Amino acid sequence: MKYLIFIVGFFFIIGCNDKTGTPSGILGKQKMQSVMWDIIRAEVFTEQFMKKDSLKNISMENLKLQNAIFSIHKVTRSQYYESYDYYVSHTDLIRLVLDSMSTKADRDRFELYKPIEIKLPIEKFSMLKRPDIAGQFKYFFNPFLYGDKK
């Protein structure tokens, strides 16, 4: 009976552990997201822009970009692909990573197409009135208001 209680308690403790944690040797969610984001962008770049250059080997250029990305993030190729296999086999974790990447892409797209407000001093756009010969006022351009102030 003691052994049965011990076994049930052991399984209870194991069943309540953190399911979202990653084992050692596997990249964390944030690190995996940033590396995967850069890998996807490099693949899109090689497929859309380098494909037009017939002198370049697309797969070699993609490999060079991936090596640069791995050196930037201080990750080895094998470490990334082991982590990628782990995340793909755990759908709940890969879903979190991909959802956050999608949100980041939407946020970047919104920032890219956000209208820009140009704020200039009002006095540069004010038109001055000058008396005309006939006594009527006409607007004229004052070049000293628009000069470069260095």
Each residue's pLDDT tens digit, 63-90:
899 999 999 999 999 999 999 999 999 8
With 60 as the cut, is the pLDDT of residue 19 above it? no
pLDDT confidence tier of residue 49, bands split at 50, 70 and 90: confident
Let me know the angle formed at the C-alpha of 88 by 86 and 94, rounded to the nearest 5 degrees.
100
- Mean of the pLDDT values across residues 89-118? 85
pLDDT of residue 118: 65
Q: What is the pTM of this model?
A: 0.59
With 60 as the cut, is the pLDDT of residue 41 above it? yes
Give the Cα separation of 99 and 84 in Å (integer).
15
With 50 as the cut, is the pLDDT of residue 120 above it? yes
Each residue's pLDDT tens digit, 8-17:
555 555 555 5
pLDDT of residue 75: 93
For the ranges 8-12, 102-106, 109-113, the one whose mean pLDDT is highest:
102-106
pLDDT confidence tier of residue 21, bands split at 50, 70 and 90: low
User: Do residues 140 and 128 make contact, with C-beta atoms less than 8 angstroms apart?
Assistant: yes
For residue 140, give every residue at least 6 positions away whose Cβ sits within 8 Å of its Cβ, in sequence order, or none.
127, 128, 130
User: Do residues 75 and 33 make contact, with C-beta atoms less than 8 angstroms apart?
Assistant: no
CA-only gyration radius of the chain, Å? 31
pLDDT of residue 125: 46
